[in-house]
Amino acid sequence: MAHTKKGPSRRMQKQGPPQSLDEILGAKKRKSAAPTNGAIKKQKTADKDAPKKKTAAQSNGAKKVRGEHEQAPVVKPKATKVLKKTAKPAALDVLADSDEEDLELDDDEINLEEDGLNGLDMDSDADDFDLAPSGSDDEILDDSDAEVRREKMWSEDEDSDAEERLTAANIEGLSRKLNEQRAREAAEAEAELAEDALQTNIAAELPDDEDETNGGLLAPDLQLLRSRITETVRVLSSFKDLADPAKSRADYTQSLLKDVCAYYGYSPFLAEKLYSLFPPQEALAFFDANETPRPMVIRTNTLRTHRRDLAHALINRGVTLEPVGKWSKVGLQIFESQVPLGATPEYLAGHYILQAASSFLPVMALAPQEHERVLDMAAAPGGKSTHMAALMRNTGCIFSNDASKERSKGLIGNIHRLGVKNTIVCNYSALEFPKVMGGFDRVLLDAPCSGTGVIAKDASVKTNKTEADFLRLPHLQKQLLLAAIDSVDHTSKTGGYIVYSTCSVTVEENEQVVQYALNKRPNVKLVSTGLIFGKEGFTKYQSKRFHPSLKLTRRYYPHMFNVDGFYVAKFKKTDVTPAALVGNPGARVGDQANGAAEDEDEDATITSEGGDQDEDDVEAPAFETFDDDEDEKLIERSLRRNLRRKGIDPKATKSAAVKSYSKSK
């Protein structure tokens, strides 16, 4: 049975990357010592003395402390402006701790966070935002600053420095505070567990057979398991120093995986697959992160409203929210809501869609332009198609395709609700593209996948995925990706791009699929996703080697960025796909540019030719470059494949077998 860890809810953690110090230090300084915060909360002027409602963070144990400077009057440097007195937003309480600590920081940091807060406060509809620090009678602000910020905060295009500062302040303060608190609690919990372990004399011994005999009958002792997992991870992390010389690394790993299965509820198969992606300590963080939900996020539909106006409307309905992070201009992270977010008038009017933050990323990477022709190959229920429509301002044309008729109904519903007018819904297997239609400026393939990135949402993934799934799905993904590439017009003046994404973290569904496409379609190369955060894709994984350009792809993990596990790769098509290959996905021609190999599994890694290449060298090959040497290699490969089919090991018997087989043909 899965166990939920104690600690502050991840809902309260900022999504995306932590704010870079440089950016924070680059923001404008102010001399006053006003409180710092950027969270938004419905104004409570009517009843400022009423007890405040708890925020999610508070109910999760975040300490409510008012920073000294919160009560301090703000010094007015020049002309001043007096704004209405307001109650302190509940969300601010969460940050009060960090405010206090900020007092010990240098002036720069204090003042910068303050900027973020005031940036938010400068909304012209000030009444609806909590503008003033509680405890101060009047918010006194520099007039000129206020004007600038009023203009910039929640501005029409949301491209606001002030907002960035707000976000910076939010991320910095909120996440630092929560991280510290988490670290403290984790340390306390560890100490407690270690003590328990000593008391019960169950120190982190590897399980023996007796555990197994009892295992099937008794409920697992979660505390014992946790303690042993932690200890085994510790040993594995410093194996030379800490391991029992009588035991191998494999022994420890095996024991750890067994405990992970019992503690978190994974099948042994999936536990091993996911474990293998990380160093032991990080694997544990990943498994832990899968036990807590990601923050609820909504995407503003900019075809119908602006984020500022939407925030305003929802705040008035009792929703506590803040911008999702600096990296998005349309996301709002929901902390608390007194109304069902799928049934507000704003929702019904199509002002927003409930959408995981990670789902913004592939569309941002694709960056569809106005007036383009775009294909969304696997579009239902339409979160990404409708996002694209908004970026394209309802111009051009999006073909939103999905193989499932049933799921397409949801897609159509969202298209109507969100006021999308540039979209044609179609219901093909995307494998049929480009025969259905080609010549697109951009194609998004948000592929069907195993969902190992969204285990926090769907815990059934822990047990219902089998080895067969990790053969079937990558096979489909590879074929779909080739179809996506073949559907793009490489001569497009504005585009020629393909984005491949999954909500899975396995290498089979990500790097191996991308490498396969590079091998089969040398007329594409990987390019930067343009996303400002994310971990580089693997270029090495176990015995597999991928092209260096795989570094340009991006991995997202819940434990690292507090978003769903996700993968994004962006290709640029540089040449036409030869007609012989179109609609014949598995076939290849002269495909040495990106690495080539023998059968499908090997196609998912690179040969030495591809592996030697430099990232920048990934050029489209000339398609006319058939030569005899190359043909000979291809023939030999084909012969070896035939030998294998006949049960003969071509490596063991290579030349003789190949020769005799060739002769017999």
Please give the positions annotated as active site: 503
Which phi and psi angles does 123 have, rounded to 5°? -60, 140
From candidates 163, 172, 211, 446, binder to ligand SAM by CB under 6 A: 446
| Residues of the binding site for S-adenosyl-L-methionine | 378-384, 402, 446
Q: Which among 362, 373, 349 has a CA at the least distance from the CA of 300?
A: 349
Q: Which two tokens stand for residue 46?
A: 């009517």
Q: Which two tokens stand for residue 584?
A: 């014949």
**E strand map for 330-422:** 331-336, 352-354, 373-376, 397-401
Min. distance of Cβ 389 from ligand SAM in angstroms?
Answer: 12
Min. distance of Cβ 357 from ligand SAM in angstroms?
Answer: 13
Site string for ligand SAM, 602-641 (x = CB under 6 A): ----------------------------------------
Please work out the total of residues on this chain that contact ligand SAM, with binding judged by CB under 6 A. 19
Peptide bond into 434 cis (omega under 30): yes
Residue nearest to ligand SAM (CB): 378
591 binds ligand SAM (CB under 6 A): no
* Alpha helix positions (H), 529-599: 558-561
Min. distance of Cβ 171 from ligand SAM in angstroms?
Answer: 26
402 binds ligand SAM (CB under 6 A): yes
Identify which of residues 384 and 554 has a Cβ nearer to ligand SAM in the complex.
384
Element (H, E) at 385: helix 383-391
Site string for ligand SAM, 407-436 (x = CB under 6 A): x---------------------xxx-----
Site string for ligand SAM, 323-362 (x = CB under 6 A): ------------------------------------x---
381 binds ligand SAM (CB under 6 A): yes
Identify which of residues 361 and 606 has a Cβ nearer to ligand SAM in the complex.
361
563 binds ligand SAM (CB under 6 A): no
Report CA Rg, the chain. Answer: 28
Identify which of residues 132 and 484 has a Cβ nearer to ligand SAM in the complex.
484
379 binds ligand SAM (CB under 6 A): yes
From candidates 56, 197, 257, 380, binder to ligand SAM by CB under 6 A: 380
Rounded to the nearest 10°, the torsion over CA 402, 403, 407, 412 is 40
Q: DSSP labels for 469-526? A: HHHHHHHHHHHHHHHHHHTB-TT-SS--EEEEEES---TTTTHHHHHHHHHH-TTEEE
- Non-local (6+) Cβ contacts of 12 within 8 A are 55, 56, 57, 60, 62, 94, 174, 178, 295, 335
Q: Which stretch binds ligand SAM (CB under 6 A): 266-274, 376-384, 535-543, 567-575?
A: 376-384
384 binds ligand SAM (CB under 6 A): yes
Q: DSSP labels for 303-327? A: TT--HHHHHHHHHHTT-EEEE--TT
Q: Which among 196, 167, 468, 168 has a CA at the least distance from the CA of 322?
A: 167
- Between strands 544-545 and 540-541, the pairing is antiparallel
Min. distance of Cβ 384 from ligand SAM in angstroms?
Answer: 4
403 binds ligand SAM (CB under 6 A): yes
Identify which of residues 224 and 403 has a Cβ nearer to ligand SAM in the complex.
403
Q: DSSP labels for 212-239? A: HHHHTTSPP-HHHHHHHHHHHHHHHHTH
Min. distance of Cβ 579 from ligand SAM in angstroms?
Answer: 23
From candidates 337, 404, 574, 642, binder to ligand SAM by CB under 6 A: 404
- Non-local (6+) Cβ contacts of 573 within 8 A are 485, 488, 489, 490, 496, 497, 498, 523, 524
Whether 355 and 297 have beta carbons less than 8 Å apart is answered as yes
382 binds ligand SAM (CB under 6 A): yes
| Residues of the binding site | 378-384, 402, 446
Amino acid at 119: G
Q: Which stretch binds ligand SAM (CB under 6 A): 296-304, 382-390, 452-460, 614-622?
A: 382-390
3-class secondary structure, 266:
coil
Identify which of residues 83 and 341 has a Cβ nearer to ligand SAM in the complex.
341
Min. distance of Cβ 428 from ligand SAM in angstroms?
Answer: 7
From candidates 90, 271, 378, 606, binder to ligand SAM by CB under 6 A: 378
The DSSP bridge partners found for residue 322 are: 333
Identify which of residues 110 and 303 has a Cβ nearer to ligand SAM in the complex.
303
Q: Which stretch binds ligand SAM (CB under 6 A): 107-115, 274-282, 374-382, 484-492?
A: 374-382
- Between strands 296-300 and 423-426, the pairing is unpaired
Identify which of residues 287 and 566 has a Cβ nearer to ligand SAM in the complex.
566
* Distance set, CA 395 to CA 348, 369, 389, 498, 602 (Å): 23, 9, 7, 19, 42
From candidates 383, 495, 585, 610, binder to ligand SAM by CB under 6 A: 383
Identify which of residues 382 and 610 has a Cβ nearer to ligand SAM in the complex.
382
Q: Which stretch binds ligand SAM (CB under 6 A): 226-234, 250-258, 326-334, 400-408?
A: 400-408
Whether 420 and 303 have beta carbons less than 8 Å apart is answered as yes
Q: How many CA atoms lie within 13 A of 547 on its CB side?
A: 34
Which positions touch ligand SAM (CB under 6 A)?
A: 359, 377-384, 401-404, 407, 429-431, 446, 448
